[in-house]
Amino acid sequence: MREASGEGDDATLGSTVDNFARARLIGTNVQTGNIQGGFHLHPGTTPPTPPVPRQLPAPPLTFTNRDEELDQLDEWFHHSPTGPLLVVITGIGGIGKTALALRWLSLHRNGLRDGQLFVDLNGFAPVGVAAKPSDVLGGFLRALGVFPENLPATLADRASLYRSLTADSSLAIFLDNARTAAQVRPLLPASPHSIALVTSRWRLGGLALDGARFLDVVPLEDDASVDLLSKAVGARVNQEPDPAQELARLCAGLPIALSLLSARLSDRPGWPLSRVVRELHDERRRLSSLASEDDLSLKAVFDLSYRTLPPELARAARLLALHPGPAFGLEAATALLGTDRDDALHQVTELVRVNLLHEDVPERFRFHDLVRIDAAERAEAEDPVEERDEAHRRVLNWYLERTIAADLVVRPTRVRVGPGYQNARDAEPGFNSRNEALAWLGLERSALFAAVRLATSKGWGSLVWQFCEALWSVFLQYRPYSDWIASHRSAIDAARRERDPLAEARMRCQLAAAYLDLERFGDAEGEGRVALRLAREIGHPPTESTALEQLGVAAWGRGDLPLALDHLRRSVVISEARNQTRAVAMRRRQIGQVLVALDRCEEAVQELTTARDMLVGVGDQLGEARVLTSLGAAHFRAGDTDRATALLERAVAILTEHGTPFFEAEARVELGEVAAATGDLTTAHEHWTTAERYYRRWGNPLAERLRHRMGWETDDVRQDPS
């Protein structure tokens, strides 16, 4: 460059100053400082064109089942508005964010002609190591052809030059492991033909102001996890399909966990998968088992996220991991944290933002399973046992109060003995309707059973049996026999340790009901006899009546019909003396059923009609429908199929409306019998098929009986269409 001087102090008119600048020429523009006088350009030798940057790491060799995410990126890429496309890919550490980005970019490298820039921003590395935007821009500018001696000194100047150099480019910018929006903004390209992909464990919602699209990466489904394992370790997965499925479940859809597991299996080719399954089943060893010899481990991955949390959020993560069950609502979180609702909402919202929690639906949260295990281990290591126990008691007490409130709405007339019921009766109803209460119980069912197990493990016996009493509606609605039996055995042991014979008797009655469903009549009679003895010793007539009822049903099941009638009639006498109308009506229903079995159908119809009228009188529509089922069966056995059909169809309609599938199944079995007797086998099979599906779902032995009735082979269980 030859410059003619002006009239400055250091130049004379007509003198010349020769300056030489080496830089990359951008079109016809020249960027300079102050210019005085005229100037002329005399380009020297054209510097070499810088190579197109190709900075992306290699895409993963094993990659599976991210088609939905890849399709979404394609959609945004091909239909992006004016301006560069910015996508923030978020998810917990180890979920596969980087792998997804590299996979998509490798598929589109030819469509971005000016190359790719890549940087690991180290946003979640130990304090002080995170990449600075100014340093990153220096590297990007050098990759774009700027010589080191010509790099601007300040962040603002580097960002300005970067925008100029990329203004017309078609570039892919991959910013991995970002922590803040401020770390990202200066690195965004200017060209509408470019794309910037950002990965972060945090959501970086501030980038929405820059037009960002957000893509949440979720855990892999079990089948995709098995596919990833198969690609890594080969035929062993096909040779042991069931253990492979269980390994996939234990890794909880986390690709890094699957990768660490694959590396371990590859190092031990002689190990059967079932051996590793046994090892990972122990939650206390699972995280330590998922590690490699080069110090890569899940705990290290999770530690990078945890150490960035302020103390309040770190404590919140630890306490929330103590929750009994995989998912929880805001109220349960409030109880665990021991704070008010607004503060709890703030804390869980922050944990969602940093991807340590996932919000399934508004104000409903869950940990990734392996993140929960890690946080719970940290709680055990960092928080005093007294603080952990206080958190557990707070959340268990909250769940118990809420379950009692729901139970009172679903079954308002049932006898209860738990101390929490009196306070609940004096309080405002916790639910507006029976359906609302049932919906909450269904939503929280897993957490409630886990609460019983937690109280059992802590030795808090009173809570154990009180939960079992309050969960009666759940047991009847869903028939979860395994949890039903296990929880009540624990409750009986707890009541005995606390020397509470009434609680023990009530729990034995509830356990006997499960045995009756499963046709374990001897076990039911064993529980009923002890409950009857205890009820008589302490003088509690309602429990004595219930025990007699269950002894009667057990005798009926064994075929001793006269003994069944005796027990049931003595139960009626006790309940009548206490003006328990509903209890009397339901015992009369059972007496009617036994009379039908004795072929005394006329007496049965009279008994059942009385029971129905009593329930209509107290407005118990659900109880009425159950009696209609028995009454319809009695009319059918008496030969009146038309009357039987009308009663049974009415019963099905009411029971379906109330959402009580177990009782609905009872009515459909009888409707099927009536239809079959009249030659309508199509209708019979429709009713039996629906009933069989319900019974099979619960593991009830009636399912097998129905399959035989319909001519199915026992092992030819049809798939549940629901």
- Banded pLDDT at 717 (limits 50, 70, 90): very low
Average of per-residue pLDDT across 254-275: 79
Distances (CA, A) of 332 to 309, 355, 375, 444, 628: 22, 19, 17, 11, 41
pTM of the predicted model, to two decimals? 0.74
Looking at the DSSP assignment, which residues form a beta bridge with residue 434? none
> pLDDT value at position 38?
57
Average of per-residue pLDDT across 272-298: 68
> pLDDT value at position 276?
78
Tell me the DSSP string of 159-206. Answer: HHHHHHHTTT---EEEEES---HHHHGGG----TT-EEEEEESS--GG
> pLDDT value at position 287?
65
Q: State how far the Cα of 553 lies from the Cα of 516, in Å rounded to an integer.
A: 8
Side chain identity, residue 110: N
Looking at the DSSP assignment, which residues form a beta bridge with residue 172? 116, 195
Q: For 65, list phi and psi in degrees, rounded to 5.
A: 50, 45
Measured on CA atoms in the order 300, 301, 302, 307, is the torsion positive or negative? positive
> pLDDT value at position 493?
98
| Residue-wise pLDDT tens digits, 547-600 | 999 999 999 999 999 999 999 999 999 999 999 999 999 999 999 999 999 999
Question: Does 721 score more than 90 pLDDT?
Answer: no
Count of C-beta atoms within a 10 Å radius of residue 97? 27
Residue 112, token pair as written in the block: 């971005």
Single out the residue of 274, 25, 22 nearest to residue 164, CA to CA.
25
Measured on CA atoms in the order 86, 89, 90, 94, is the torsion positive or negative? negative
- Tell me if residue 521 falls in helix, strand or coil: helix
Residue 205, token pair as written in the block: 């919602």
Q: State how far the Cα of 564 lies from the Cα of 544, in Å rounded to an integer.
A: 15
Asked if residues 486 and 467 have their Cβ atoms less than 8 Å apart, the reply is no
Per the prediction, the chain carries an average pLDDT of 87
Altogether, the residues listed in the chain come to a count of: 722
Q: In what order do the strands lie in the sheet with 172-176?
A: 116-120, 172-176, 195-200, 85-90, 213-216
| Residue-wise pLDDT tens digits, 144-156 | 998 888 889 999 9
Judged on CB neighbours under 10 Å (0-12, 13-18, 19+), 12 is exposed
Count of C-beta atoms within a 10 Å radius of residue 272? 14
Side chain identity, residue 246: E
Is beta strand 39-40 parallel, antiparallel or unpaired with respect to 85-90? unpaired
Distance linking the first and last C-alpha atoms of the chain: 80
| Crossing angle for the helix pair 341-353 and 330-337, to the nearest 10 degrees | 100
H or E element that contains 643: helix 641-658
Q: State how far the Cα of 171 lies from the Cα of 180, in Å rounded to an integer.
A: 22
| Residue-wise pLDDT tens digits, 95-130 | 889 999 999 999 988 888 899 999 999 887 654 578
- Tell me if residue 531 falls in helix, strand or coil: helix
Average of per-residue pLDDT across 403-425: 91
Average of per-residue pLDDT across 255-271: 78
605 vs 292, residue with greater confidence: 605
Asked if residues 186 and 198 have their Cβ atoms less than 8 Å apart, the reply is no
Tell me the DSSP string of 99-157. Answer: HHHHHHHHHSGGG-TT-EEEEE--TTSSTT-SPPHHHHHHHHHHHTT--GGG--SSHHH
| Residue-wise pLDDT tens digits, 85-97 | 999 999 888 888 9
Question: Does 36 score more than 70 pLDDT?
Answer: no
Count of C-beta atoms within a 10 Å radius of residue 521? 19
Single out the residue of 606, 604, 602, 610 nearest to residue 592, CA to CA.
604
| Residue-wise pLDDT tens digits, 183-220 | 999 999 989 999 999 999 888 999 999 999 999 998 88
Range list of H helices, 268-384:
273-280, 283-289, 298-306, 311-320, 330-337, 341-353, 369-382
Asked if residues 635 and 673 have their Cβ atoms less than 8 Å apart, the reply is no
- The rounded radius of gyration (Å) of the Cα atoms in the chain is 36
Average of per-residue pLDDT across 627-631: 98
Residue 617, token pair as written in the block: 């009188």
Show Cβ contacts of residue 191 under 8 Å, excluding neighbours closer than 6 positions.
84, 166, 167, 168, 169, 170, 171
H or E element that contains 4: strand 2-4
| Residue-wise pLDDT tens digits, 477-507 | 999 999 999 999 999 999 999 999 999 999 9
Judged on CB neighbours under 10 Å (0-12, 13-18, 19+), 347 is buried
> pLDDT value at position 296?
55
Distances (CA, A) of 218 to 90, 268, 326, 366, 488: 9, 30, 16, 13, 37
Judged on CB neighbours under 10 Å (0-12, 13-18, 19+), 386 is exposed
